[in-house]
Amino acid sequence: MPDAEELIRVLEAVHDEKCAVSRADVSDSYEEKMSYQNKFLNRKTVAGTTGSPLHQASSVANGTSTASGGYQTRENNNAVSPVENGIDRMGLQRKSSRAYERGDGLDERMGSSRKYSLTQAISNGSSLGQNSSGPNSAGLQDGAPELDYSQPASALQGPNFHLRRTQSQRTIERSPAALQRVGTLTTKETLTPSFAADKQFFPTTFPQIDDRYLRLDYANQDYLSKMLHSDLLPKGSPEVTREFMSTLVTLLLNYVEMQNDRTSRVLEFRHPKQLEQIVDIDVPDEESPSNLYQILLDCQQALQYQVRSGHPRFFNQISTGLDMVSLAGEWLTATTNSNMFTYEVSPVFVLIEKAVLQKMRELVGWPTGDGIFAPGGSISTLYAIHLARHRKFPLCKTKGVYALTKRPIIFTSAHCHYSIPQAAAVMGLGTDSVVEIPVDEKGRMDIDKLEEQIMACLERGDEPMLINATCGTTVLGAFDPIMPIADLCEKYDIWLHADAAWGGGVLVSRKHRKLMNGIERANSVTWNPHKMLGAHLQCSAVLIREPNQLFSCNNMSADYLFQQDKHYNVEYDTGDKAIQCGRKNDVFKLWLMWRAKGTLGFERQVNGLFELRDHLVRRLNEFEDFELILPEPECTNVCFWYVPPSCANMVGNRRYERLGRITAIIKARMMDRGNLMVGYQPLDDRPNFFRMLFSNAASTNEDVDFMLEEIVRIGHEL
């Protein structure tokens, strides 16, 4: 297989170059930079000797350079050894010593007679979703002209480049003279000299910026160009305010429409130093440096380069999507700028929070209880662990961990979210207090091992304090079996926390809530509606089975803030239950979604995500170009490797090392192309693999097909 060998060598070399470049990108000492460049050159020479035509294509796409330095970095970044960071940070070499020992994947694949080659199909010009995704995607990737940064700067001043302004232009614009000629603002982009000198560090071609939706050539440009922030309410006029906000809303709704147009890209990737040159993020000192039209340009610029996490082909993270009712809720929340700590200032929102928490507890299976919305799952889980400690060691609140006669231990699966050890570190228990229990082949906690560890803990004289059952692990989407864990919790008097930040969404689905059978036996649950239910980030709740726990644990008797002699019933105040003081309203958007959809609407939404998963699993089994990590995933996570034809016949360690390297390279290329985003990561002894995730209600089967085709297409082009 000399071809495959060579491909891998080329890919590795290209990848190493890129990382060296990225590294140079922030190092600020001249010597260090040169050392990177030398390495880069050496590497390049090695790669160049292969003479493969593939090399040519890759190096163009990923940045070629023999250049010298000359640009100024903005701040003193932490200087570290280039060897340590340029290479080791990549994780490639690191991982190779511990490759994934598995031989069955190949045999399984080869033993199946019903598999087809998607690579072959794409080479022949056919596609999975001929009707829906085909023309659109083709239009995007083939039709869009490439922007060549090696052209002279003047060539970039075409009609498509009026969105961005350079640092130097801003400086001129902000001068007193410029402020007098508002309305004549030039918005053409030119490359600054410093960028021109540096561009060799970066890829030279990107797809041309798509500005069909984000143009700002509205009729009121002249009007807004004459206005400053001081013309807005409260001290300015309602008319200017309406004009400004309405124009912004038009821009924002154009963004939403763009994001839902599959011929638009998911992102316009630029490397950090590149982007710093392109966008103007300067934080100015001058008063009123920008008129209101310029402020809109600032907004436009951010939207242009922001990743469209609501795009139907954004599968990169657990929180995706853009639900319009949730957005309406967020806009209203922002408009009221409220604080959840007292009924006094947030009467409606406090009642709504109470009602939504009650509804969520009902779905868990509790008639009463307690709970609070917290800024994200990590803090929700911190609440729960803090509460468990308070229940077992109430003295800890005043005396600290010193007062404990026994060391409290937290049990969790090896695949748990890192917020568990994080909480242990913050809480002064130390990460060593977290005992990680091995997982079975599906990523679920091994119950026998769990009980062994509990007994070992008791033998040591430590106190088993909490077991965390992860409901939907981050990578594999595994659900720890709650029933047997709850049995152990009862047997040994241990607090059962369910980290259902991700998986909690299945509770609204009569079909899938069996994944969390026994959840009503938990003492506390973390559930982030900003994940599977599609509410806006941040929307996370910690739910507690017993009432009145949070107050006892967290109140600090701050009577000077939460007066007890108010003229209304202060039990509605939430401030004394929280570890925050001021607390943002995270619940209104979720409530509004619930009003619009009902629990049954949420059920339909969640079931739809699982149907997308089923479609993807079917497709992955259908084609020989992929290898599934888990044949039957529990949640909507689907993990797989892309297997290029050149690796098809490889076996053992070498096969998986290669697949892992190719995964990272394809992801990099995917970001440059911008049509799609899928996450990847290593896990245990498995090298990098793709993790598809369905949490975006916008995605369809055609988007899944597009994703598979695009991966194959990139692999094919490498």
Closest CA to 626 of 688, 690, 706, 683: 690
Rounded to 10 deg, the angle between the 347-364 and 588-622 helix axes is 40
Long-range contacts of 160-163 (CB under 8 A, 24+ apart): 160/208, 160/209, 160/211, 161/188, 161/189, 161/209, 162/187, 162/188, 162/189, 162/211, 162/215, 163/187, 163/189, 163/209, 163/211, 163/214, 163/215, 163/216, 163/297, 163/300, 163/301, 163/304
Residues within window 661-690 making contact with a copy of itself, judged by CB under 8 A: 664, 667-668, 671, 677, 680-683, 688
518 binds a copy of itself (CB under 8 A): no
| Residue 204 vs 309, nearer CB to a copy of itself | 309
For residue 140 the two structure tokens come to: 């995007």
Closest CA to 48 of 91, 93, 92, 6: 6
Instruction: For the CB of residue 547, give the shortest distance to a copy of itself in the complex, in Å.
Output: 6
Among 140, 382, 525, 628, the residue binding a copy of itself under the rule CB under 8 A is 382
What per-residue string of b and e applies to 615-637 under the rule 16 or more CB within 10 Å gives b?
A: bbbebbebbbbbbbbbeebbbbb
Q: Report the largest interatomic distance among the alpha carbons of the chain, rounded to a whole angstrom.
A: 83
Q: Roughly how many angstroms between the first and final C-alpha of the chain, as a whole number? A: 17
| Residue 197 vs 327, nearer CB to a copy of itself | 327
| Residue 120 vs 205, nearer CB to a copy of itself | 205
Cβ 423 vs Cβ 368: under 8 Å:
no
Instruction: For the CB of residue 498, give the shortest distance to a copy of itself in the complex, in Å.
Output: 17
Among 60, 110, 233, 483, the residue binding a copy of itself under the rule CB under 8 A is 233
334 binds a copy of itself (CB under 8 A): yes
Residues within window 253-272 making contact with a copy of itself, judged by CB under 8 A: 253, 255-257, 260, 267, 269-272
558 binds a copy of itself (CB under 8 A): yes
164 binds a copy of itself (CB under 8 A): no
Segment near a copy of itself (CB under 8 A); pick from 21-29, 113-121, 146-154, 439-447 = 21-29
Cβ 399 vs Cβ 423: under 8 Å:
no
* Strand residue runs (E) in 52-176: 146-148
Instruction: For the CB of residue 202, give the shortest distance to a copy of itself in the complex, in Å.
Output: 10
| Residue 127 vs 663, nearer CB to a copy of itself | 663
Query: Beta strand 637-642 with 146-148: parallel, antiparallel or unpaired?
Result: unpaired
Cα 460 off chain centre by: 40
Instruction: For the CB of residue 339, give the shortest distance to a copy of itself in the complex, in Å.
Output: 6
Give the bridge partners for 412, in sequence order: 436, 468
Cα 461 off chain centre by: 41
Among 10, 11, 90, 704, the residue binding a copy of itself under the rule CB under 8 A is 90
Among 51, 70, 193, 598, the residue binding a copy of itself under the rule CB under 8 A is 598
Query: How many binding residues for a copy of itself (CB under 8 A)?
Result: 194
84 binds a copy of itself (CB under 8 A): no
Instruction: For the CB of residue 114, give the shortest distance to a copy of itself in the complex, in Å.
Output: 32
What span, in angstroms and rounded, lies between the C-alpha atoms of 1 and 9?
13
Cβ 442 vs Cβ 495: under 8 Å:
no
Instruction: For the CB of residue 488, give the shortest distance to a copy of itself in the complex, in Å.
Output: 24
Segment near a copy of itself (CB under 8 A); pick from 154-162, 216-224, 299-307, 622-630 = 299-307
Instruction: For the CB of residue 120, give the shortest distance to a copy of itself in the complex, in Å.
Output: 28
| Residue 471 vs 677, nearer CB to a copy of itself | 677
Residues within window 602-661 making contact with a copy of itself, judged by CB under 8 A: 603-604
Among 182, 325, 467, 639, the residue binding a copy of itself under the rule CB under 8 A is 325
Return all residues near 184 (Cβ < 8 A) that are at least 6 apart. Answer: none
Among 19, 224, 465, 639, the residue binding a copy of itself under the rule CB under 8 A is 19
Among 46, 54, 67, 307, the residue binding a copy of itself under the rule CB under 8 A is 307
Return all residues near 456 (Cβ < 8 A) that are at least 6 apart. Answer: none
Segment near a copy of itself (CB under 8 A); pick from 51-59, 160-168, 393-401, 480-488 = 393-401
Residues within window 459-488 making contact with a copy of itself, judged by CB under 8 A: 474-475
150 binds a copy of itself (CB under 8 A): no
Question: Which DSSP letter does residue 630 get?
Answer: S
Residues within window 344-363 making contact with a copy of itself, judged by CB under 8 A: 344-349, 351-352, 355-356, 358-359
71 binds a copy of itself (CB under 8 A): no
